[in-house]
Amino acid sequence: MANGTVKFFNTDKGFGFITPENGGTDVFVHISAVQGGALSDGQRVSYDMGQDRKTGKSKAENVRVI
């Protein structure tokens, strides 16, 4: 489980990016991966790293506000 901060989240389009706490590339997050609703910019979250089956790119899964 990793921690990070929501860099950007577009509630209308249902996606955004998380900046990992330990550094590295921002991680894509889709609304379907968020436990308990939408996210807001600046929120601290915990998440699991996953991989998109279609694109092979990294994405956040099981995202929870902490």
| pLDDT digits (tens), the chain, 66 positions | 999 999 999 999 999 999 999 999 999 999 999 998 889 999 999 999 999 899 899 999 999 999
What was the pLDDT predicted at 39? 95
The pTM (predicted TM-score) of the whole model is 0.92
In total, how many domains does the chain have?
1
Q: What is the residue whose two structure tokens read 């929501």?
A: 6
pLDDT score, position 36: 87
User: What domain range is 47 assigned to?
Assistant: 2-65
Q: How far apart are CA 4 and CA 2, in angstroms?
A: 7
Do residues 61 and 53 make contact, with C-beta atoms less than 8 angstroms apart? Answer: no
Cα–Cα separations (whole angstroms), residue 20 to 12, 51, 54: 23, 16, 23
Tell me what pLDDT residue 42 has. 98
